[in-house]
Every structure is written in structure tokens, then in C-alpha cells.
Structure 1
Amino acid sequence: MAVRDNKDRSRFELDVGSEVAFANYRLSPTAVIITHTETPRALRGRGIGSELVKGALDLIRRDGRKVIAGCGFVVDYLDRHPEDADLVA
């Protein structure tokens, strides 16, 4: 499963079967502000949200940007993954 940046909808997306987990974002000049993450109810508890955030952070890193966690799930993810601390604006 690969996370993609749907620039038209300003969100990162992860397809899981016929469902889509997503993380909405806004751009600032140097950072991506993740404002909301959502995993379909049927997929919760399977690590899909974490996989989505990890993939989003990988794309953000590749683009040379920083991240601002505007969503509690992303805050918690970053607290559990100090290896991504270099991305935090």
C-alpha cells in the first residue's frame, strides 16, 4: 500500500481495499500542516492510520518540507516516533 498526495483535494490518501484513509493538510511556505486524519471505521485498530501518517511524512521529507501537527493523531504519532523529530517545524 502506498500513500499518495492528492494535491487537488489537499490530502494524503491510502487505499485499503475499497476504502480510503486520508489526512487533510494545508500548506505554509515551508511546512505542511496536517489538520485532520480519518480512517474508515471498518479499518480502525489495524495500524492503517499510522501507516498513512508514516507515508505522508516520507512524502513531506522527500519534498524538503517540515510538518506541523494540527491533529491529535499526528501529535501522538510523532511522540511515538522520535526518528521523525527532524521534520517537526
Structure 2
Amino acid sequence: MSTEHSSVEVGNDEAENRYVATIDGKPAGTAAYERSGDTITFTHTVVDEEVEGQGVGSTLIRHALDDARTLHLTVVPQCAFVAAFIEEHPAYQDLVA
């Protein structure tokens, strides 16, 4: 079981259609998405090798899904990492179409 990295910050880079995770101000991972109306499709998630297994990806996806919930968006987990995260965290399954 991985532990979450305490200093991970996540922001939405709407111009680039991706959520970006940073650690101490340095990019650590991204979750790319496509937005269409009330639907957000997560297409690809990348976490830097140096921080793999430290919870960066989970923190990134949790933030993105919480954002989707706040914005009342339907989630399409095209990315295998996002799909697996939702499967492992039933509280997010209601977001999926």
C-alpha cells in the first residue's frame, strides 16, 4: 500500500487540458483530459519515475475527480489508471456514466 506524498499540490491547467501535480513546485505528474459539455474524459496519466509509488498519481486523480464532482461532470475513465482508481474507490463510481 502506498503512502500519499504530503507536499503534492494539484492544479488544473485548462489551457493544456490537464491536471498537474507538483512537489515543491516541480512537476511530478499529469492527468490529461478532454472536456465536452458536461463530460470529462481522462485520456492519459503520467507520474514521474522518481516519485512513482509515493501516492502522487492517486492524489492527482483524487483531486481531478473531486473537481469533476464539484463541477457536476460525468467522468469517462478512458485512462487505465483513472479506471483502476475509480474501481478501487467506490465513492467515485457515481461519477462514471
Q: Who is 1:52 aligned against? A: 60
Q: Distance in 1 between matches of 2:52 and 2:93?
A: 25
Gaps of 5+ in 1: none
Q: Distance in 2 between matches of 1:78 and 1:24?
A: 16
Aligned residues: percent identity? 30
Structure 1 runs of 4+ off > 3 angstroms? none
1:55 deviation in Å? Answer: 0.3
Q: What do you get for the CA RMSD once the two structures are aligned?
A: 1.0
Contact 1:2–1:55 (CA under 8 A) maintained in structure 2: no
Q: Is 1:65 aligned with 2:73?
A: yes
Q: Distance in 1 between matches of 2:63 and 2:20?
A: 9
Amino acid in structure 2 at the alignment position of 1:22: T
- TM-score w.r.t. length of structure 1: 0.93
Gaps of 5+ in 2: 1-7
Q: Distance in 1 between matches of 2:19 and 2:29?
A: 8
Q: Number of aligned pairs?
A: 89
Q: Distance in 1 between matches of 2:16 and 2:27?
A: 16
Amino acid in structure 1 at the alignment position of 2:40: V
SS in 2 for 1:3: strand
Q: Who is 1:25 aligned against? A: 33
Q: Distance in 2 between matches of 1:19 and 1:43?
A: 11
Q: Who is 2:17 aligned against? A: 10
